[in-house]
Amino acid sequence: MGAGFDSTAYFLDLMVVGTLILPIFFVVRYPLGRRVILATVGIYLLHLIAPRLAIFYCLFWFFVFVLQQIIVRFRETEPWGQMAFWAAVFAILSPLVLWKLIDREFVTYFNLLGNQLSFFIHDRVGTIDRSRAIILPIGLSFAVFRAIDLLVKTNLGKLNRLGIDRIFYYGFFPPIQIVGPIIEYEELVERPPAQRPRVIEDVYPGFARCLFGLFKVLIIAAALQKSERVFYSYPNLSTPIIWTSLIVFTWFFYINFSGFSDIAIGLSRIFGIRLKENFDNPFFSRNVSEFWNRWHMSLSRFAQRNVFVPAGGYRPETQYRALTATMMVIALWHGLTWSLVAFGIFHSVGLIVHRKYSMSRRKSDPSNLRQRILVTAATYLFVTLSFPLLILNLSDAWKFYLAMIGQ
Amino acid sequence: MKLPVSNQIFRWNTFTAVRTTGWMIVGLAVLRLVTLPPSPELVGDDSLPESVSMIRRGGHQDWIDPEGSRMIGRLRGKKVAWVSGSSILIHGPNGKKSRLPGEVLSVVTGPNGPEFKVVEYYIAGARLLEIYTVALEALRLNSEVIVVALNPLYVFNPSALFGRKQLFKSGVRNWWTVEDWPMQFLLASPSDHFWVMFGQFVPKMPIPDWFQKVHSRKPFKRPQSADENLMFTRPVQFWSYFEVPEVPEMVANNKKTSGSIWQHGALRLSDPENASWNRSIIRSLFDRINRSGVSAIVYLPSVNPALLENKYNMEIYQKVRAEFAALASLHAGDRTLVLDIFPDEILDSIEFHDNIHLRDPGRLPQYMADLISQL
């Protein structure tokens, strides 16, 4: 449901705007000025998708700002501090949960109300909005998790009261607001924007990284994209073709997603901001645990910080429960469906088995090439088998698995 | 942590300048793939006399047309530019399809008449802003005559000002009057501006077919009915469904996708009294035609009388015509002929395929040919 959005077009626009504002960035010394410039660009680019999207996120991040102030105000006060924190998390999660549970109704009201609000700004903004495509709340999954991360850190005392300019800068940071990664607030401030980006250290490698990402998305991923048809046409395909297409699809999925991450990381680097990596050759992992440390690493880091550790992941008596909870959060972040519940259980079982196995056996010999190839292939096979659960609903996924074994 | 491959490749050293140039070329090639300009399509049509040649821009190709129907190269000889949406389509009996411009020009030229080129700017489902933008492009042709058809369902429809973002690239080139400036910032995207400025420097190269799949990427969807898909992907259908009272019932009673339902909805979303931006665009259209000095016909194609049996539809349709006629009387120049409706005898001879498309144009081609000959 919803259409009309092209991530590639968004990034091309951002590259053009980025090139235009870069000289200003070199000139402007004040961090506040730079934050305002980047947040304005982010809002402008959302407006080009549809004004209602920009309005929605302005309200969303303003709401985060208010909640952050409340948490700071009450965090030292028991029990109000914890109550305020959990109410804030619940409030921030609610649009995402509603969208995932009742997508049709949510998307309908998101578009209808958003359009009405756009008429409040200006008659012409409302008219533009009505002609733009009907859209999903693009980027909401990423925004909600970033907001929660911010509120958690505030509640733990790691972050103090932030001004609206900082919240909007974090919320509308253009390279990551559409397809991630789920960055932490500190990634934007550890190397403050007051520090000038340098051509040799930042702009050139950043630009090259963007081109590399575009090359991955537009050339390699586009070439592999037809493989996604396997999920619709599998009843008419032979078993070897299904297997081959599924394998090709896993590479399409990875190269496409990591290509967009490359563009986001490259664009950030141009502005002197070095984001953490989001992928690290995950299909060459030697076990499931390593896979999740190398696949969509920003999501894994989020889940580790906010679920695994608080749930007792480092304590022997609670480690498996924490692993399962972490994996379920990662799975259900993609959507609230039974097939994604199955995806979470599938990987939780894989992680638990691996952990038990690695504790009971001696470590494998890293110099044994044959052994490395075998465990890497086995891990890849395990991950590949979970992809139908990401794409199809549970009953279709079951039929797909049967087709994979020739039934 | 180990550096990613890209960081290892892009280290700074003495060959940096060479590598940067190399990557610039790769980047331009990638841009070429993203913004692939189609060539003008020379249409072979056996039903046309030899003296008439049709050059067609747009069609379904305009979904990926980054140059917004820009004509490549110069055309010699007499030309008629015809800018229109699908109201020119003729769905004849036995599946025979033709188009109004071809039929009209066959009449104008006759078997041994003067040589004419019809440059047909056809955009399926064209909204007002697309017609305006492409008409500005067509005015650059310096044709003898320009014919502009404004769809009555969209001409004062503030819910459907535009539908094809690709055409903004030609808009950036042509929206230079003060009234057009807001569109440069509110509608055109930065990459549109970039393409207009630097597109000419992008190397042309043969493109393998599969690259075009980038443009047709579709999200995964569970199977839905065609109407449901339309409702949640296209703005006119969406607003019609939630704002025109009869439409949900019409959709529920209709098992198949029906253009008629959405045409009904589009007319009802029209709002001549409050469509200020639409009025401004129409004023600009007349103004730009006047400045060009080209003879012009600007007309509202008639709609199927069956659509107007609903009294609300009739009321809106009359308001649309009246507003259009009022604007034309104020802003159309001496060399512009304006029609807000065809004469009754012509209208009576037309058989409609649906609410707007034709099955049999009747005496319309002869009538239009006479008008063109007068100019």
Predicted confidence at residue B322, as pLDDT, reads 94
- CB distance B26–A1 less than 8 Å? no
Q: Coil, strand or helix: which one is A310?
A: coil
Question: What number is the ipTM of this complex?
Answer: 0.82
Predicted confidence at residue B106, as pLDDT, reads 77
Q: Regarding beta strands B41-43 and B89-91, do their DSSP bridges make them parallel or antiparallel, or are they unpaired?
A: unpaired
* Residue carrying the six token digits 């968004």: A10
C-alpha distance from B6 to closest chain A C-alpha (Å):
6
Please tell me the pTM assigned to this model: 0.85
Predicted confidence at residue B70, as pLDDT, reads 54
- For residue A219, list chain B residues with Cβ-Cβ distance below 8 A: 30, 33
- CB distance A9–B1 less than 8 Å? no
* CA closest to B219 among chain A residues: A3
- For residue A8, list chain B residues with Cβ-Cβ distance below 8 A: 34, 214
Say yes or no to pLDDT of B175 above 60: yes
- CB distance B10–A127 less than 8 Å? no
- Asked whether the beta carbons of B264 and B355 are under 8 A apart, the reply is yes
Question: Within 10 A of A29 (CB to CB), how many other CB atoms are there?
Answer: 9
CA triplet A358, A361, A367: central angle to 5 degrees? 85
pLDDT digits (tens, 9 = 90+) for A161-171: 999 999 999 99
- Report the first-to-last Cα separation within chain A, whole angstroms: 32
As given in the structure block, the two tokens for residue A91 are 């409030």
pLDDT digits (tens, 9 = 90+) for A97-127: 999 888 888 989 999 999 999 999 988 899 9
- CB distance B30–A219 less than 8 Å? yes
Residue B296 and residue B290: Cα distance in Å, rounded? 9
Predicted confidence at residue B37, as pLDDT, reads 43
Task: Give the Å distances, CA to CA, from A60 to A110, A405, B362.
Answer: 13, 47, 57
C-alpha distance from A6 to closest chain B C-alpha (Å):
9
Higher pLDDT, A232 or B29: A232
Reading across the β-sheet that carries B41-43, which strands appear in turn?
A: B41-43, B52-58, B116-122, B78-84, B145-149, B295-299, B336-339
Mean pLDDT (chain A, rounded): 89
Predicted confidence at residue B1, as pLDDT, reads 46
- For residue B19, list chain A residues with Cβ-Cβ distance below 8 A: 208
Exposure string (b/e) for B335-348, b if CB count within 10 Å is 16 or more? ebbbbbbbeeebee
- CB distance B23–A200 less than 8 Å? no
Considering only the beta carbons, identify the residue of A131, A222, A225 that sits closest to B160: A131
Helices (H), B68-117: 100-109
C-alpha distance from A68 to closest chain B C-alpha (Å):
33
- CB distance B277–A125 less than 8 Å? no
pLDDT digits (tens, 9 = 90+) for B286-325: 999 999 999 999 999 999 898 888 899 999 999 999 999 9
The mean-pLDDT minimum among A179-188, A267-276, A397-406, B134-143 falls in B134-143
What number is the average pLDDT over the span A302-319?
90
- CB distance B6–A209 less than 8 Å? yes
Secondary structure letter of residue A132 according to DSSP: S
What number is the average pLDDT over the span B70-76?
55
Q: Does residue B208 belong to the interface with chain A, where contact is any CB pair within 8 Å?
A: no
pLDDT digits (tens, 9 = 90+) for A175-189: 999 887 999 998 887
What number is the average pLDDT over the span B325-330?
93
Higher pLDDT, B205 or A219: A219
Predicted confidence at residue B36, as pLDDT, reads 45
Predicted confidence at residue B187, as pLDDT, reads 87
- For residue A3, list chain B residues with Cβ-Cβ distance below 8 A: 219, 232-233
* Residue carrying the six token digits 């939630």: B242
Considering only the beta carbons, identify the residue of A2, A209, A393 that sits closest to B10: A209
Predicted confidence at residue A214, as pLDDT, reads 85
Predicted confidence band of residue B213 (pLDDT cuts 50, 70, 90): very low
Interface contacts A/B by beta carbons within 8 Å: 130
- CB distance A131–B162 less than 8 Å? yes
Residue A82 and residue A86: Cα distance in Å, rounded? 6
- Which of B238, B276, B280 should one mutate to test binding to chain A, selecting the residue with the greatest count of A CBs within 10 A? B238
Predicted confidence at residue A45, as pLDDT, reads 94
As given in the structure block, the two tokens for residue A129 are 């909005």
pLDDT digits (tens, 9 = 90+) for B49-68: 455 555 655 444 433 444 54
Q: Is the peptide bond before B203 cis (omega within 30 degrees of 0)?
A: no
- CB distance B161–A130 less than 8 Å? yes
pLDDT digits (tens, 9 = 90+) for B116-168: 777 888 887 889 998 998 898 888 888 889 999 999 999 999 999 888 777 78
Question: A85 in the Ramachandran plot: left (φ > 0), alpha (ψ -120 to 50) or beta?
Answer: alpha
Predicted confidence at residue B76, as pLDDT, reads 64
- Which of A43, A123, A130 should one mutate to test binding to chain B, selecting the residue with the greatest count of B CBs within 10 A? A130
Q: Does residue B21 belong to the interface with chain A, where contact is any CB pair within 8 Å?
A: no
Question: Within 10 A of B373 (CB to CB), how many other CB atoms are there?
Answer: 10
Task: Give the Å distances, CA to CA, from A113 to A53, A56, A157, A240, B237.
Answer: 11, 10, 36, 49, 17
What number is the average pLDDT over the span A217-225?
82
- Asked whether the beta carbons of A263 and A11 are under 8 A apart, the reply is yes
- For residue A127, list chain B residues with Cβ-Cβ distance below 8 A: 158, 161, 275, 277
Q: Does residue B197 belong to the interface with chain A, where contact is any CB pair within 8 Å?
A: no
Higher pLDDT, B223 or A266: A266
Mean pLDDT (chain B, rounded): 76
Predicted confidence at residue B112, as pLDDT, reads 64
- CB distance B232–A226 less than 8 Å? no
- CB distance A130–B160 less than 8 Å? yes
Predicted confidence at residue B154, as pLDDT, reads 94
How long a stretch of residues is chain A?
407
- Which of A11, A12, A255, A281 should one mutate to test binding to chain B, selecting the residue with the greatest count of B CBs within 10 A? A12
What number is the average pLDDT over the span A246-261?
93
As given in the structure block, the two tokens for residue A187 are 């990634």
- CB distance A133–B235 less than 8 Å? yes
Question: B110 in the Ramachandran plot: left (φ > 0), alpha (ψ -120 to 50) or beta?
Answer: left
C-alpha distance from B147 to closest chain A C-alpha (Å):
25
